[in-house]
Amino acid sequence: MADNQVHSIQSLLGDALRETTDLARKEVALFRTEMSENIRILFIGLGMMVGAGVFALAAILLLVQAVVKWLATIVHSEALAALIVAGVMAFVAIGLGLYGRSTMSASTLAPKRTARSLRRDTEVLSERVTG
């Protein structure tokens, strides 16, 4: 009977060790997948920031002259028209830049699903040990 209990305990410990190893492998795979998704999001945010810069430059180069000349006919001052147009283009560029920066925030890149899964696994393992 004592041999059966020892064999049973060894079997349980072996099963627990195998399950823990499998769980660790799955957690590492989840972490890698989530981090690759987060890197993709980072590059999208970076692309938005570059897009903001390109948009700002293109808008200034292509539109400013025409809009300034048109607005100058209304306000009767080319300098005032230039200031108004530059302010609008800066507003657009700032908006795009802030949006791009928000997508690249550290909280966006944190592996939330992996952390949640690790907490859940810890709870399950502690229940098995105590239960």
Q: What is the pLDDT of residues 20-42, one digit of tens each?
A: 888 888 888 888 888 888 898 99
With 0-12 / 13-18 / 19 or more C-beta atoms within 10 angstroms meaning exposed / middle / buried, residue 18 is exposed
Q: What is the pLDDT of residue 119?
A: 82
What pTM does this model have?
0.41
Specify the pLDDT at position 59. Answer: 76
Confidence of residue 2 (pLDDT cuts 50, 70, 90): low
**Per-residue pLDDT, 105:** 73
Higher pLDDT, 7 or 104: 104
Count of CB atoms situated within 10 Å of the CB of 96: 19
Q: How would you class 76 by CB atoms within 10 Å of its CB: exposed for 0-12, middle for 13-18, buried for 19 or more?
A: exposed
More confident residue, 88 or 130: 88
Output 97 or 126, whichever has higher pLDDT: 97
Per-residue pLDDT, averaged over 108-122, amounts to 76
